[in-house]
Amino acid sequence: MTGSESEEPLLRRAVCPGSFDPVTNGHLDIIARASRLYDVVHVAVMINQSKKGLFTVDERIDLLRQVTAEYGNVKVESFHGLLVDFCKERDIPAIVKGLRAVSDFDYELQMAQMNNGLSGVETLFVPTNPTYSFLSSSLVKEVAAWGGDVAHLVPPLVLRALTERLAKR
C-alpha cells in the first residue's frame, strides 16, 4: 500500500463489513483477530434501505463501539453503496471476512472476485472459531424471540439490548 495521500500513510488498514443486527460473539472473534493483524480495522455497518432490522443502524453502531472499545484500533462506521468505494475513500486495501462453513464459500468467493475485479481490493478469509461456526445474527434473533438462551452467543450488553427490544414487540 502506498497511502501517499492519506493522513496516516503508514497504517495498514482492513475492513470487516456486515449487517451486525446485532453483533454476535462470532463477529467479535473475527474483528478481534483482524485487530491483531492490522493497525486500523474499520467495521462497516451496511445500510440496507429495503431491509428493516431489529436494531437501527445507529443502535448497531452504538453496540459495536461499546463492545470493540477494548481493542483500541477499531473504528465503527456505516456505509451504503459499494464496499469498494468505502475502501477507496479510506485507502483500505483489504476486506477481512469470517468463513463459517462451506455454505458461506460460494457466495463469498463470488463477492471477493467481483470486488477484486472492480477495484483491486483483496479479501482475506479467516476460518471461524468452531465454537461459533453455526452462529448468525438471524439465528440469535430467532432463538431469543422464542425465549431460548443466547447468553453464550452475544456480549452481555447485546443480550440486554436484545431482551429489551424483543420484550417490546
Chain residues binding ligand ADP by CB under 6 A are 18-20, 24, 26-27, 29-30, 97-98, 100, 128, 132, 135-138
Is residue 60 annotated as involved in ligand binding? no
The amino acid sitting at 129 is N
Q: For the CB of residue 32, give the shortest distance to ligand ADP in the complex, in Å.
A: 11
> Active-site residue 103, yes or no?
no
Handedness of CA 157, 103, 17, 58 (dihedral sign): negative
In the chain, % helix, strand, coil (3-state, to 5) comes to 45, 20, 35
Among 85, 41, 77, which Cα is nearest to 58's? 77
The amino acid sitting at 166 is L
Among 77, 100, 107, which Cα is nearest to 15's? 77
Give whichever of 42 and 97 is closer to ligand ADP, judged by the CB atom.
97
Q: For the CB of residue 166, give the shortest distance to ligand ADP in the complex, in Å.
A: 17
CA 136, 140, 142 angle in degrees (round to 5)? Answer: 115
Q: For the CB of residue 10, give the shortest distance to ligand ADP in the complex, in Å.
A: 27
Give whichever of 113 and 138 is closer to ligand ADP, judged by the CB atom.
138
> Active-site residue 100, yes or no?
yes
Identified catalytic residue from 27, 42, 60, 141: 27
Query: Residue 121 — φ and ψ, nearest 5°?
Result: -65, 140
> Active-site residue 27, yes or no?
yes
Identified catalytic residue from 36, 50, 51, 103: 51
Can you say which residues are annotated as belonging to the binding site? Answer: 19-20, 27, 51, 83, 97-100, 108, 132-138
Can you say which residues are annotated as belonging to the binding site for substrate? Answer: 19, 51, 83, 97
